[in-house]
Amino acid sequence: MTGNSRFLLPLSLLAFALACNDAPEGGMDSGAAATADAPKPVELSDSQSGAMVLAPTQLAARLEEGTAPVLLDVRSAEEFAAGHIPGAINVPYDEVPARLAEIVEHRDAELVVYCRTGRRAKIAEAALREAGFRQVADLDGHMTEWTAAGYPVTDPQPCC
Annotated active-site residue in 20, 115, 159, 160? 115
Catalytic residue check, 115 = yes
Are 72 and 89 within 8 A, CB to CB? yes
H runs (alpha helix) in the chain: 5-20, 56-65, 77-82, 119-130, 142-148
**Contact between residue 106 and residue 131 where contact means Cβ atoms under 8 Å apart:** no
Sheet of 70-73, strands arranged across:
42-43, 52-54, 136-139, 111-114, 70-73, 89-90
Catalytic residues: 115
